[in-house]
Structure formats: structure tokens, C-alpha cells
Amino acid sequence: MKIVVYGAGGIGCYVGGRLAATGTPVTFVGRQRAADELASHGLHLTDYLGADLRVAPDDVQYETAPDAAAGADLVLVTVKSAATDGAAAELAPILKPGAVVVSFQNGVRNGELLRSRLTDQVVVPGMVPFNVLNRGAGVFHQGTEGALDVQRDAALAPYVEAFQWAGLPLTQHDDILPVQWAKLLLNLNNPINALSNLPLRDELSQRAYRRCLAAAQSETLGILDAAGIKPAQLLAVPMHRFPAILRLPDFLFRRLASKMLAIDPLARTSMWEDLEAGRKTEIDYLNGEVVRLAESIGRTAPVNSKLVDLIRAAETDRRAWSGGELLRELQR
């Protein structure tokens, strides 16, 4: 089988790297900067459970031209959401009919966009529920738990064992949309974490930041309910009860939600990484999706709209917000 990771940044290098490190040949396609980095250092994949896997520089096949995806049996699309349309345009004339294309991206619409452009291929929506931190020099670290979620499709059968061996089993769902919205509810914390400039565990340990997340989630849950969308239950606690738990005082939250804080001290969000690197973030495909859904049913989403505005401002003028400052801004 020929597996290609298209848009191999943090998520792509980690997922593809785990496959490569456990014996599955993988071709990475991405930017020249990443190609140079991996040519020098290879891949070093670690996780919060203690996994420590390596792929030597000579064993990393990293290309920068779209043509490298020609002949692929399985393509894992891991580009940023804003680049999905461009990736589809590049892949459409290259991929063979029947190739399987999996969208491992944030947001809820990337699979639909890929399917509309790649009409001769089998497009499978999916998502990556865990955080990956790019530590530089080819080191990619998974800081939170989770398997890979995908829409159920018989075309995935030849690849299930390879992902199992890589320690990233595919969890297949009859309907991926409720799972994507549930993940998006959790990802509403991405801008809060990025604005705090703190590791995830430190940020979530402070009630003021959690109240910001609770406000964004409560607003989103009301909009989803009005739109007739019921998010899947990804956590032990039903999603509609989660905001109340987030608002608890710190000592009660530590007691009742200890598993949520049992994450790697290195874990941060990809949005924080984007701000650090001076890149445009995916805010339009996270909190922006909530705003878009609200507008489609004649409602507003002021908390999520404000977070979109704050991140857009941070893309050009970075500052760290305390929990109290951010909460007051969202309560205006």
C-alpha cells in the first residue's frame, strides 16, 4: 500500500511518523522548511504515556511537490482548514480513481469540501482528538489522550491493522458529524489557551479561564440545540453538563474532573503554536463555525464572536491575557 500524508505539519508528521516508525511506508508532502528539518533530524515521536519512537533521517520520505501523491492508495489530508480547497485542487488531477482520502482536520466541513472536489475518490471525514506539540528538531509530542475518529467506511479495512500497530487505532462512527461537533466544543478552548499563553494544564487549573470556556460552550450548546444537532458524548460527563463542571471552584474541579487535568505538562494547542510562529490560525473553523451556524438560524454568538476577534487581533499584536481580564472582556 502507498500511504501519503498531505500537508505534513504537526499532526501529519506525528500520525504519519507513528505509522512509519512501526513499519508502514509513508510519504510526507509539505513545506520545504519541514523537509529540511526532517532531513537533518529525522522523526522523534513521543507521547504522554511514555512512547518513544524514531524514524532515521534517511528513512523519512518527505517531498514538497503535489506529484508525490500520485499513485497513493490512502491519503491523509492534514492541511490547515483554510488550505483545504487548495489541497483538493492539487490532488484532483493527481489521485487515481478509488483512492481513499481521509480528512484529519479541525472543523466540521472539510470532509464535505474534499468530497465535492474529489469525485472519483473515496473521501472519509475524520478528526484527531489529541494535541500534538511540535518541539522542533523533528520532535513531535502527543500531550493528551485519544484515538483517531473516522466515518465508518469499508474502504478503510486494508489500513486498520497498520493504524493499530502504530498505537493510533481508528475508531469508526456511523455518523461522524456529532463527533466533530463534540470535538469542536472541546476545541473552543483553543483560543482561550492561546490567549493565556500557558500550557493547557496550567490554564485549565484556573477557574477564570474555565469560566471563559464554559461561556463559549454554553452559548454553542444552545445554538446546536436550536439547529437540531446533538453532539456525541466524548467524555464521561454529558456535554450539556460540562459547562457547569468547568465553573466549579478549583478544589472541587480538581476532585471531580481530575482526569481532565491528568494531561502532559507540555501540552498546548495548535492555535498557540500558530500564534508563536506568526501564522494565521484556524479560528474561523472553530469558534467561527459557531458564529456561522448561529447566523444560519437567525441567532447570534457574542462570546464566540469576541474570541474570534481577539485571536484575529493576536495574529498581528500578541499579548497574554489573565483569566480575569479575558473573562471580563467576554462578559461585556
Domain positions in the chain are 3-174, 179-331
Three-state SS across 250-263?
HHHHHHHCHHHHCC
Q: What is the pLDDT of residues 36-50, one digit of tens each?
A: 999 999 999 999 889
Q: Average of pLDDT values for 90-111?
A: 96
Q: What is the pTM of this model?
A: 0.91
256: amino acid identity, one letter: L
Which of 129 and 290 is assigned the larger pLDDT? 290
Q: Under CATH, what is the fold of the domain 3-174? A: Rossmann fold (3.40.50)
Q: Does residue 102 surpass a pLDDT of 90?
A: yes
Residues 77/104, Cβ–Cβ less than 8 Å:
yes
pLDDT digits (tens, 9 = 90+) for 302-327: 999 999 999 999 999 999 999 999 99
Residue type, 248: L
pLDDT attached to residue 259: 74
Please tell me the distance from the alpha carbon of residue 199 to that of residue 192, in angstroms, as a whole number: 11
Collapsed DSSP state (helix, strand, coil) of residue 53: strand
Return d(Cα 259, Cα 203) in angstroms, integer.
15
Q: Looking at residues 136-148, what average pLDDT do you find?
A: 91
Q: Cell numbers of 135, please?
A: 518541539
Fold of 179-331: N-(1-d-carboxylethyl)-l-norvaline Dehydrogenase; domain 2 (1.10.1040)
**Is residue 307 within 8 Å of 283, Cβ to Cβ?**
yes
